[in-house]
């Protein structure tokens, strides 16, 4: 009997709190800007701050408000620059005078013989590109590293260096053309020409 009453009371409280939370979620809902979210989805989400903004969301807001150029995201590279240009109908090759785009990819390299396994670099890496465990040697996954340099400062023994990656036969890409082709507006047919085509 006591167990049944306890179950009913706890179930009633759970139902009441569930209804209150459901109402509060609808009442206090914050509407986001879908255009900012669309821009943010194209960014690499490394939260590195190399663009001059504290993260990818503030940078996306600045792009949407036309307060920032689309070429400030260094970890995103040319792919991000071109997809943002396509979305915003801008020139992807326009470089910012304030912060020129680095075309050579850089990545972190840990001098494994000096690593003490403190895990501070693992905690600082926003994309989980560093493998290792406490008091064990750490290493960087080159495919995942965005070159944000956030792991360098926390290292107490300065065993992390940023090195430039020279293109190889497998990573080299044709440069994009710098001459933009004129886009002709679509031709509109007269009603007689449409009838002739049918």
State the binding site for [4Fe-4S] cluster.
48, 51, 56, 73, 115, 118, 121, 125, 145, 148, 151, 155
User: How large is the greatest C-alpha to C-alpha distance in the chain, in angstroms?
Assistant: 87
For CA atoms 165, 166, 172, 177, the dihedral sign is positive
CA–CA dist 27, 67 (Å, integer): 32
Integer angstrom CA distances of residue 9 from 5, 19, 22, 62: 6, 15, 20, 51
Residue 166 CA neighbour count, 13 Å, CB half: 0
Paired tokens of 187 = 């031709």
At which residue do the structure tokens 């792991």 appear?
A: 151
Give binding residues as ranges.
Answer: 48, 51, 56, 73, 115, 118, 121, 125, 145, 148, 151, 155
SS (H, E, C) 73-116: CCCCHHHHHHHHHHHHCCCCCCCCCCCCCCCCCEEEEECCCCCC
153 contact partners, CB below 8 Å, separation of at least 6:
124
């Amino acid at each position: 009997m006591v167990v049944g009453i306890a179950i009913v009371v706890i179930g009633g409280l759970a139902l009441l709190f569930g209804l209150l939370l459901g109402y509060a979620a609808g009442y206090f809902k914050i509407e986001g800007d879908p255009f900012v979210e669309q821009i943010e989805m194209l960014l690499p989400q490394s939260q590195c701050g190399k663009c001059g903004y504290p993260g990818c969301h503030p940078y996306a807001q600045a792009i949407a408000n036309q307060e920032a150029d689309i070429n400030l995201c260094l970890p995103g590279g040319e792919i991000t620059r071109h997809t943002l240009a396509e979305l915003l109908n801008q020139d992807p090759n326009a470089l910012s005078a304030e912060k020129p785009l680095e075309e050579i990819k850089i990545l972190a390299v840990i001098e494994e013989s000096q690593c003490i396994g403190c895990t501070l670099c693992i905690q600082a890496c926003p994309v989980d590109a560093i493998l290792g465990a406490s008091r064990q040697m750490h290493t960087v996954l080159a495919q995942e590293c965005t070159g944000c340099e956030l792991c360098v400062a926390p290292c107490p023994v300065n065993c992390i260096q940023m090195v430039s990656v020279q293109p190889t036969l497998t990573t080299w890409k044709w440069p994009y053309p710098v001459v933009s082709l004129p886009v002709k507006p679509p031709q509109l047919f007269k009603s007689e020409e449409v009838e002739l085509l049918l």
